[in-house]
């Protein structure tokens, strides 16, 4: 069968995810080559744009899951989604860290390489083992990538290479761990997260247009949100992931009926 005939709407969104990951790698690599060729410092705007593309990929990744639940997915769905995630949320952030921070010390490459390997192992386990409907085993690779992206968007004044490498190592371990992370299926919460990412992208355009630095300041918000999710299994942080869900509403209605009786 022609592979293009097998594609469905969720698959097209997964391809958008993949395209954004490849674009991020291409932009960062081009900036690194330009810097090496002309013996100049890599342009911060190019690195920020590469990071923004990974946020777009994260939004696409969330959207394809939602669309797949609403409409019938195709035969390629799960495999295509995982392959796109491996590139956009595993390989891409690892390469960005190396290209931006690995020039001074080759040992820096070990940390992003470990991150990419653990991310791929996390995806392989997800595809091989029956998943729980209420949670993930190990940190989702998308969350790990967004955690790194939002930290690096804070700018050179706040980004420290030692903390970045420690964060990369911690995320690598969490991805292949057995720690249970909640699935956020609530449409309102997903829309809120997508709007935060969308506003970050919009502020990047404003920064480039008017030569300001709003993204660095605003990125503190998504960074804190991701930090909250990362620590949620350990400190029982209420993520309100079930608010508005059918099960939650039924539970609330049941409690209300009991109260009335």
Task: State pLDDT tens for residues 207-223.
Answer: 989 988 899 999 999 99
Q: How far apart are CA 103 and CA 179, in angstroms?
A: 34
pLDDT of residue 255: 43
Q: How far apart are CA 8 and CA 98, in angstroms?
A: 35
| Chain centroid, CA 52 distance in Å | 11
Helices (H), 156-219: 161-175, 187-210, 214-218
Asked if pLDDT for residue 199 goes beyond 80, the answer is: yes
pLDDT digits (tens, 9 = 90+) for 127-184: 898 767 678 999 999 999 999 999 999 988 899 999 999 999 999 999 999 999 988 8
Q: How far apart are CA 164 and CA 160, in angstroms?
A: 6
pLDDT of residue 252: 43
Q: How far apart are CA 58 and CA 153, in angstroms?
A: 15
φ/ψ of 137, rounded to 5, equals -90, 110
- Which residues lie below 8 Å from residue 118, measured CB to CB, with a gap of 6+? 172, 173, 175, 176
What residue has token string 């022609």?
A: 2
- CATH class of the 3-260 domain in this structure: mainly alpha
Q: Which of 46-50, 145-149, 193-197 has the highest average model confidence (pLDDT)?
A: 145-149
């Amino acid at each position: 069968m022609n592979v293009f005939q097998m594609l469905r709407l969720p698959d097209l969104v997964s391809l958008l995810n993949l395209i954004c990951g490849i674009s991020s790698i291409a932009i960062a690599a081009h900036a690194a080559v330009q810097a090496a060729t002309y013996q100049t410092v890599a342009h911060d705007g190019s690195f920020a744009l590469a990071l923004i593309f990974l946020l777009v990929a994260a939004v696409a990744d969330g959207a394809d899951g939602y669309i797949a639940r609403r409409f019938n997915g195709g035969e390629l769905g799960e495999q295509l989604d995982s392959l796109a995630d491996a590139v956009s949320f595993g390989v891409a952030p690892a390469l960005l860290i190396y290209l931006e921070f690995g020039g001074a010390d080759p040992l820096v490459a070990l940390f992003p390489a470990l991150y990419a390997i653990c991310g791929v192992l996390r995806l392989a386990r997800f595809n091989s083992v029956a998943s729980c409907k209420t949670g993930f085993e190990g940190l989702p690779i998308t969350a790990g990538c967004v955690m790194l992206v939002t930290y690096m968007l804070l700018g050179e004044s706040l980004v420290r290479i030692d903390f970045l490498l420690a964060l990369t190592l911690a995320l690598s371990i969490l991805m292949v761990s057995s720690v249970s992370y909640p699935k956020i299926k609530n449409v309102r919460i997903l829309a809120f997260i997508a709007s935060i990412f969308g506003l970050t992208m919009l502020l990047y355009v404003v920064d480039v247009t008017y030569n300001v630095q709003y993204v660095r300041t605003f990125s503190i918000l998504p960074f804190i949100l991701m930090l909250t999710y990362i620590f949620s299994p350990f400190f029982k942080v209420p993520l309100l992931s079930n608010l508005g869900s059918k099960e939650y509403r039924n539970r609330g209605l049941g409690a209300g009926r009991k109260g009335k009786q």
